[in-house]
Structure 1
Amino acid sequence: MISTLEFSSNPKASILIVYTGGTLGMDYDENGSLVPCDFERVVARIPVLKELNINLSVISFNPPIDSSNVKTEHWVQIGQTIKDNYAAFDGFIVLHGTDTMAYSASALSFMLQGLNKPVIFTGAQLPIASPRSDGRENFVTALEIAADRREGIPVVSEVCIFFNHLLLRGNRSKKVESHHFDAFESENYPALAEAGIVIDYNYTALKAYDPTARLIFYPELKDDIVILKLFPGINQKAVSHILSTPSVKGVIMESYGSGNVPHQPWFLSMLEDAVNKDVVVLNVSQCNGGNVIQGKYEASSALNRIGIISGRDLTTEAATTKMMHLFGRSTDPQEIKRNLTTAISGEMN
């Protein structure tokens, strides 16, 4: 059910807010404890919303969720909401907890193909009830960006995260802080905008607006994947358990540096056996600014021969959600491998 806050008879934009929950939307209950609150209480804490000349409509998750409980069906719910209301609004704000925001923004970037309007995720490190909450500035600036147009064309036409003065491409983002306001980074792609006294857009980094694009929503996601994080001393039994799980169709392998892995025969043999059984293995770097270059060092040279896919500069969040998306669209491992090496939403260089 949509509730509408009409602050202007001649607004510069109409924005739909998808309120999922998270730290931003927490307030004190009668016992003085912080609990998720309804959106009306969020608005009451940010009276400046009435001065933005933007009309707001809200769809709330009931009940609001902690982002650590986010599942693929929540991504489908957010995407379906945007699809169903796409023609009626100029842009969309998703209020979301920070812990899994980069996963959700990445997922939506793949699910919403042909997007030509802003979908901006934001949230807070401190609850809106806190006097020092970062939620007010994050929310207000995200709204201004979502409403911003040049000659009738939206400045932003992709899925983004706005947090602590920076607008980042959603599928390039990663949460890196839990105790400071600068919670997100985008090491392998420049910021799309920086908000100071004015909002300074990096037009060369923004996705180009395509007047011919038409939104296509892909709700199918397959979660038969695992993440294999390498560490010194990882043993054969653990790797065997992960790679031989019957339901697993895809593996995100978090390797060292530029894609390096242990070159013990047992490890490489297990990877090769998995690939021969049509398990798709995608190699991404553990480094925040990592870029996999298979074959650069001896420790990764065998991976090309085995059939491991290089994830190049994909984040783990983008790699995970992209693989879920591709398995939802195809059952052909070779087609999935080809698409994993091709940028479909600006997620990789």
Structure 2
Amino acid sequence: MTNKPNILILYTGGTIGMIKDYKTNALKAFDFSQIIDKIPELEQLDCEIKSISFEEPIDSSNMNTKYYVDILEIIEMNYNKFDGFVILTGSDTMAYTSSAISFMIENLQKPIIFTGSQLPIGDLRTDAKENLITSIEIAASRKNDKPVISEVCLYFEYKLYRANRTTKISSEQFEAFASMNYPALAESGVHLTFNEHLLSKQKYVDEKLIIRKKLVTDVVILKLFPGITEKVVKAILNIDNLKGVILETYGSGNAPNEAWFLNLIEKAIQNNIKVVNVTQCASGSVILGHYDTSVGLKALGVIGGIDITTEAAIAKLMYLLSENLTDKSFKNYFQKSLRGEISKK
């Protein structure tokens, strides 16, 4: 008989960890050490559950790279004691946080499942219970005595996604997330069904876990819009110590082909600022040179982000900028799928 999987819940903050004080009607942070009392159904899961909470819960709007490192260090300290991790964060920035964690951990052999909720755990119609119960069940799922999932994922409203493929699409619907360019890894209905052919396959079973805690935050997202002025673009590209730009373009990577715009992009690249082109569209891919309005960008050396999300692109940019790569290597790594974040060309 095999031992029960040990699952660690890490609560960083967010709606899921709030309960209502019925005397004051105010929301207050929930004590996750009492989780079984609040959700007795967890006792039916065939696993041992422990929890750790941030001393001060972080609202998702205050999430930053310092907290990414805090999350990582808790995983690192507990990696050998637990078989899977469920990370609870605010949903507003969950796609950014989970994408970043996916790049900061290499040779991951265990599940890290991010989840949260649209309503607090103590609310009558809450989605928190189902999201939490199923996330724990997924983290504890094993096949041939090995974890079914060995990557960073995000679970919300009956679907498990690869974390670095997700975007929050609704502030009001329970189905708050989507993964437009990659199918769901699992679906929870009457049965919990894994799409095993879509899962990340770990090749390096004996490789040691590598945790990278350094990210370069001198980056910016520049979203184009009709009427954007030279003054605005110039001001952004001339930010002190800027190292990288995620350029959110139209359609399949198109941008103004006016001389002033291309000149500013060219100058930025000459100043060793990495410029990555991602699409503003919810789905689809950047194909530089497909239309005349992206030929100029391609010629200047702008890096096509293929079908990466903006959330994953900014995380990957912060990660790769910390690696002191040559221009050629940077481009190769950015356009290569490192954690399943880009579809193979």
TM norm structure 1: 0.95
8 Å contact kept, 1:156–1:206 = yes
8 Å contact kept, 1:25–1:42 = no
Q: Secondary structure at the match of 1:204?
A: helix
Q: Which position in structure 2 is the counterpart of 1:88? A: 81
Q: 2:27 aligns with which of 29, 34, 40?
A: 34
8 Å contact kept, 1:174–1:184 = yes
Aligned-partner Cα distance in 1 for 2:332–2:324: 12
For structure 2, the residue ranges without an aligned partner over 5 or more in a row are: none
Q: 1:291 aligns with which of 285, 289, 304?
A: 285
The Cα shift of 1:42 comes to: 4.5
1:142 partner amino acid: S
Q: 2:16 aligns with which of 24, 27, 32?
A: 24
Aligned-partner Cα distance in 1 for 2:242–2:36: 44
Q: Which position in structure 2 is the counterpart of 1:166? A: 159
Q: Secondary structure at the match of 1:64?
A: coil
Aligned-partner Cα distance in 1 for 2:291–2:262: 15
For structure 1, the residue ranges without an aligned partner over 5 or more in a row are: 1-9
**Is 1:216 aligned to residue 204 of structure 2?**
no
Q: Secondary structure at the match of 2:153?
A: strand
Q: Which position in structure 2 is the counterpart of 1:65? A: 58
Q: 2:99 aligns with which of 99, 106, 116?
A: 106
**Is 1:304 aligned to residue 294 of structure 2?**
no
Q: Which position in structure 1 is the counterpart of 2:225? A: 231
1:191-202 mapped onto 2 (5 Å cutoff): 191-202=184-195
Aligned-partner Cα distance in 2 for 1:300–1:35: 50
The Cα shift of 1:332 comes to: 4.2
Q: Name the stretch that deviates more: 78-87 or 163-172.
A: 78-87
Q: 2:4 aligns with which of 7, 12, 16?
A: 12
Cα deviation 1:235-272 (Å, max 9, x = unaligned) = 01000000011211000000001000011110011001
Aligned-partner Cα distance in 1 for 2:9–2:267: 47
Cα deviation 1:260-310 (Å, max 9, x = unaligned) = 001111001100110011100000001111310001001101111111000
The Cα shift of 1:335 comes to: 3.1
1:28 partner amino acid: K
Q: Which position in structure 2 is the counterpart of 1:115? A: 108
**Is 1:273 aligned to residue 267 of structure 2?**
yes
8 Å contact kept, 1:225–1:248 = yes
Q: Secondary structure at the match of 1:63?
A: coil
8 Å contact kept, 2:33–2:50 = no
2:240 partner amino acid: P
1:265 partner amino acid: A
Aligned-partner Cα distance in 1 for 2:197–2:66: 34
The Cα shift of 1:199 comes to: 0.8
1:142-161 mapped onto 2 (5 Å cutoff): 142-161=135-154
Q: Secondary structure at the match of 1:120?
A: strand
Q: 1:343 aligns with which of 327, 337, 341?
A: 337
8 Å contact kept, 1:157–1:209 = yes
2:277 partner amino acid: N
Q: Name the stretch that deviates more: 46-55 or 33-42.
A: 33-42
Indicate the RMSD between aligned Cα atoms, in angstroms: 1.5
2:37 partner amino acid: A
**Is 1:135 aligned to residue 128 of structure 2?**
yes
Q: Secondary structure at the match of 1:88?
A: coil
Aligned-partner Cα distance in 1 for 2:20–2:217: 36
TM norm structure 2: 0.96
**Is 1:325 aligned to residue 319 of structure 2?**
yes
Aligned-partner Cα distance in 1 for 2:286–2:35: 42
8 Å contact kept, 1:91–1:146 = yes
2:13 partner amino acid: G
8 Å contact kept, 1:160–1:167 = yes
Q: Secondary structure at the match of 2:333?
A: helix
Percent identity, please: 46
Q: 2:71 aligns with which of 78, 87, 96?
A: 78
Aligned-partner Cα distance in 1 for 2:24–2:269: 55
